[in-house]
Amino acid sequence: MKLSRSGLAVGSAMAASVMVLGACSSNADNNSDSAAASAVSDIQCEGKQDLKASGSTAQANAMTIFSTSFAKTCPGFELAYGGGGSGQGVSDFNQGLTDFGGSDSPIEDEDAAAAAQRCSSEAWNLPLVFGPIAVAYNIDGVDNLALSGPTLAKIFSGEITKWNDPAIAAENAGVDLPDEQISVLYRADQSGTTDNFQKYLTAAGGYTKGTGKTFNGGVGEGKQGNPGVGSAVAPTPGSIAYVEWAFAQSNNLSMAKIITDQDPEGVALTAESGGKTIESATLANGPDSHNMVIDTSSFYKPTQAGAYPIVLATYEIVCSKYSDTPTAQGVKTFLNVASAPQNQGADLQAAGYIPLPQDFQTKLQSSIDAIQ
């Protein structure tokens, strides 16, 4: 994975096993370690050294992993990543305040037009990780809850307001559900997590409030970012929230199993169940496009058992052609480090993400190489 211009070659490499679809290979560890080491040693560290980006809080923990490796792989290089949500990331990028933006939804329509104007070229959506969305809840004495798309749609639109509602009880036979008010927590900021969750509710649950980065349910209390939502569930009795998996894990939250046609008892969120979902992913713009928008519509109604249906692709928004060569080279250097096999493996999974499948890694490399 060499960039087009010469630069400071990286001397040493970290050895790590390669993960594909959330499952570590049990064979040829030495070969995969050697491949990872080779990939790192081939990266040329060149271009702008102090990069700036902002946006998606769903990918914030992944960006910590990537930026740490970036600094180690390329001494003197650093990435300053600010959160603020996907809307902030797109806005900052389009205003030229950052070198790339983080978003859990691909840019389109007015945002895509504004990005093209900023770049004087097409802007591309490049997925670095997949982030499952957990449905976290806080019900005293209940640690095994299953909910379907239609039931979740009614909860998040205010049609179901009590935990012992007949619809919830019917999906949880034998569970002692309390006569307690449901407290909905949602993202107050412009959020790709919200957009993806509402798309799921619409496709799988008949949600009629609409999609988009603003929560449209008309019920509950808003919190800022995934950190705000994740930290609010535990101290809020009777609460339910949608939150990126990493933040549900870091806050030790109970997570509902999601009922699908293939899993009437519900499927729990794991690396394996998320990996099964990703296996069905296709590119919306066709297999040869460098603008790698994932068609997530197939996620929401799985066709195989054991596939968790609420998964988002988290993107980096980049210029296909930057106005200056150093910025283009710096962004490519960072993306090369972030997409290297050792950074798409166990550490990423431990942080609550499902790493890119191998075929997506290959395609992503082609798109990175095409940035000018």
Binding-site residue set for phosphate: 56-58, 86, 104, 191-193
Q: By the 8 A CB rule, do 16 and 342 touch? A: yes
Q: Which residues contact 1 (CB under 8 A, 6 or more apart)?
A: 39, 42, 43, 336, 340, 365
Distance, CA of 135 to CA of 245 (rounded, Å): 9
Which residue matches tokens 């449209």? 216
Which amino acid, 342? Q
Distance, CA of 2 to CA of 192 (rounded, Å): 32
Q: Which residues contact 236 (CB under 8 A, 6 or more apart)?
A: 138, 183, 185
Q: In the chain, at which residue ranges do the beta strands (DSSP E only) sit?
A: 8-9, 19-20, 23-24, 44-45, 50-55, 78-84, 100-103, 123-137, 146-148, 183-187, 221-223, 239-244, 254-255, 257-259, 282-283, 294-295, 311-319
Q: Enumerate the known binding-site residues.
A: 56-58, 86, 104, 191-193
Helix (H) or strand (E) holding 18: none
Distance, CA of 89 to CA of 318 (rounded, Å): 11
* CA-to-CA separations, 222 to 135, 189, 310, in angstroms, rounded: 15, 8, 20
Neighbours of 11 (CB within 10 A): 9
Which residue matches tokens 């909910």? 147
